[in-house]
Amino acid sequence: MGVQTFAIGTRSSDLTELQKISHDSSSTLSVSEFTELPSVQEKLSSIMSTDLVRATPITPTVTVEKMPTGRDVVILLDGSDGTRTGFPAMRDFVQRVVETLSVDDDKDRVSVVQYSRDPGVQFYLNTYTTKGEILDTVRGLSHKGGRPLNTGAALQFLRDNVFTASAGSRHLDRVPQVLILLIGGRSSDSVDAPASALKQMGVQTFAIGTRSSDLNELQKISHDPSSTLFVSEFTELPSVQEQLSSVMSTVLLRATPITPTVTGEKKPTGRDVVFLLDGSDGTRTGFPAMRDFVHRVVETLNVENDKDRISLVQYSRDQAVQFYLNTYTTKGEILDTVRGLRHKGGRPLNTGAALQFLRDNVFTASAGSRHLDRVPQILILLSGGRSSDSVDAPASALKQMGVQTFAIGTRSSDLNELQKISHDSSSTLSVSEFTELPSVQEKLSSIMSTDLVRATPITPTVTGKKVKPFYIAQ
């Protein structure tokens, strides 16, 4: 949200907890007792002044392009055993929603997915081009069945497989993305990270539950409180149809993007590149190949004139920084250190903790990161196994920070885990063994070049109509 958080604790507080809450390490302050608060007052004022200068919004005046008029609407249906009797009412509801949309002129696109233990796509956003085809398919829908109800996995599936350009999503063209969820029970898995990922992507989610649903869970999934609706049973869905249409219209009016015509300042030409290497016991034989891979990538970068900065971290149970982004200023120093790297060893493999460590200690100004100057932040992960801890929240935190993550795994890795870590599906690469890394080197360079062209920020100087201020994310 862009909130700048300053946390002040006493000796009874948990420092790690306060650092998680604060927006960076310099914003966590400590006193022995609250009676000593005057001693940190001046320091707080100083840090606030610095951060608020960085955060001050720009009020652009813009020339507006034509706004997108359509929507990509995905309908996610709870097809578990518990909704068998209510499914005909759910099917009728979907039919009535589709009838209100403008499909035939390709303004609106529709997809329907049913799920229980796992998701099943009835049709994608680009499967049908006419309302008649969609309605025929909806009328023929049969109940999926199955248990448990894994709503978290279903939301993640939509993020990775349905709200994508290959499946017909036009989110890259700034067409509003809408999700309508009908759910009749409590999820057996966590919805937190997948729901957050959809919100980060800009998906407007409307959740409709019954008395068997979990209100708190639905509110986490919905993009705001007005987008959570309830009925006692699915047979009462017609009673909320008009309310849903009204809320959807209001939100989409707010969400319709505008594209300013801008003239940009000079774009940053460098990159901050962090390598994260799996140094656990399982990668001992593959480590020389990993080291050679890093060596080859570094040789392609432009370090000498401070365009590119490089850091390398090895991890297993815990993390070991080989060097930070501001440790070396020449390519020769970096290559010498890389050639001398030794395998760390250890177990288990805590990838989640390593990602969080990078967020808190490496992608920071004090460690040489230039993310506050909008220099692209790159993470290249080489992982040879499945993590023993959760990667969901740390991976999401890096994405929120704008880090472009490329994950390379072996046949021993968990593909789903690597895709959660990567910033999109094209940024997950696989080899059978690390000795095959040269085979993906060129592909990595190509994807990195493409993504960095897209990711390079511009600072607008614009002309035209005055609009509401906006903040540049840092």
> How far apart (Å, rounded) are the C-alpha atoms in residues 363 and 290?
22
Q: pLDDT digits over 314-370, tens only? A: 999 999 999 999 999 999 999 999 999 999 999 999 999 999 999 989 999 888 999
Q: Which of 365, 384, 394, 388 is nearest to 435 (CA)?
A: 384
What's the confidence (pLDDT) of residue 52?
Answer: 53
Q: Return left, alpha or beta for 256; rule: phi > 0 is left, psi -120 to 50 is alpha, else beta.
A: beta
Q: What is the CA radius of gyration of the chain?
A: 25
Q: Which pair of tokens denotes residue 454?
A: 């897209």
Task: Domains for the chain: give ranges and CATH numbers.
Answer: 1-47 (no CATH), 71-255 (3.40.50.410), 271-455 (3.40.50.410)
Higher pLDDT, 435 or 268: 435
Averaged pLDDT for residues 190-214: 90
Residue 169: C-alpha distances to residues 106, 252, 298 (Å): 12, 16, 36
Q: pLDDT digits over 86-119, tens only? A: 999 999 999 999 998 999 888 899 999 999 999 9
Tokens 């700034």 found at: 174
Q: pLDDT digits over 378-418, tens only? A: 999 999 999 999 999 999 989 888 899 999 999 999 988 99
Higher pLDDT, 43 or 342: 342
Give me the amino acid identity at 372. L
Dihedral angle at the C-alpha atoms of 36, 39, 41, 46, nearest 10 degrees? Answer: -150
Is the pTM higher than 0.85? The answer reads no
Averaged pLDDT for residues 237-265: 62
Q: pLDDT digits over 119-148, tens only? A: 999 999 999 999 999 999 999 999 999 999
pLDDT at 172 over 80: yes
- By percentage, how much of the chain surpasses pLDDT 70? 86
Strands 271-278 and 377-383: parallel
Averaged pLDDT for residues 252-264: 44
The residues pairing with 430 across neighbouring beta strands, listed in sequence order, are: 409
What's the confidence (pLDDT) of residue 38?
Answer: 82
Averaged pLDDT for residues 267-287: 90
Tokens 């008395």 found at: 211
Higher pLDDT, 256 or 300: 300
pLDDT at 468 over 70: no
Averaged pLDDT for residues 286-310: 91
Tokens 């909130």 found at: 3
Q: What are the residues whose beta carbons fall under 8 Å from the beta carbon of 104, sequence distance 6 or more?
A: 129, 130, 131
pLDDT at 37 over 60: yes
What's the confidence (pLDDT) of residue 50?
Answer: 60
> How far apart (Å, rounded) are the C-alpha atoms in residues 96 and 135?
9
Q: Which of 333, 346, 414 is nearest to 381 (CA)?
A: 414
DSSP string, 339-356: HT------SS--HHHHHH
Averaged pLDDT for residues 299-307: 86
Q: pLDDT digits over 56-96, tens only? A: 454 444 444 455 678 999 999 999 999 999 999 999 999 99
Q: Which of 181, 189, 249 is nearest to 219 (CA)?
A: 181
Q: Which pair of tokens denotes residue 193?
A: 């990270």
Task: Tell me the average pLDDT of the chain.
Answer: 84
Higher pLDDT, 262 or 381: 381
pLDDT at 461 over 80: no
Averaged pLDDT for residues 440-457: 66
Tokens 């909806």 found at: 138
